[in-house]
């Protein structure tokens, strides 16, 4: 995945907010509990925004973080989810 990729949630995957657990990602195999920037990233995986645009938006949400770190961690997070087919291009 690169900054020009346009990610979206895979079939059967849905982001939800649970009153007890916080943000969760419902996937065909179960549920993933999200923390930190995970929900912010996945909320923007709409099949329209590129990874680069998502990183730019996250820089506004997390102004104290270094831009290079945000790009690296966002890409790594999305690649892990792509391996599980939770996120697709």
CATH number of the domain encompassing residue 31: 1.10.10.1150
Residue 29 lies in a domain: yes
Residue 79 lies in a domain: yes
Residue 12 lies in a domain: yes
Residue 89 has pLDDT above 80, yes or no: yes
Residue 52 lies in a domain: yes
Domain extent, residue 51, equals 8-84
Kindly give the residue spans of alpha helices, DSSP state H, lying in 14-66: 38-43, 51-61
Task: Give the chain's domain count.
Answer: 1
pLDDT tens sequence across 63-88: 998 879 999 999 999 999 999 999 99
Q: What is the pTM of this model?
A: 0.91
Check residue 50 and give its pLDDT.
98
Residue 76 lies in a domain: yes
Residue 2 lies in a domain: no
pLDDT tens sequence across 18-68: 888 799 999 998 999 999 999 999 999 999 999 999 999 999 999 998 879
Number of residues that make up the chain: 89
């Amino acid at each position: 995945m690169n900054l020009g990729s346009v990610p979206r949630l895979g079939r059967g995957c849905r982001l939800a907010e649970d009153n007890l657990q916080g943000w969760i990602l419902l996937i065909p195999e179960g549920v993933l509990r999200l923390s930190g920037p995970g929900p912010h990233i996945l909320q923007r995986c709409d099949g329209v925004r590129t990874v680069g645009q998502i990183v730019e938006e996250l820089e506004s949400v997390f102004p104290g973080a270094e831009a290079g770190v945000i790009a690296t961690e966002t890409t790594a997070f999305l690649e892990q989810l792509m391996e599980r087919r939770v996120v697709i291009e």
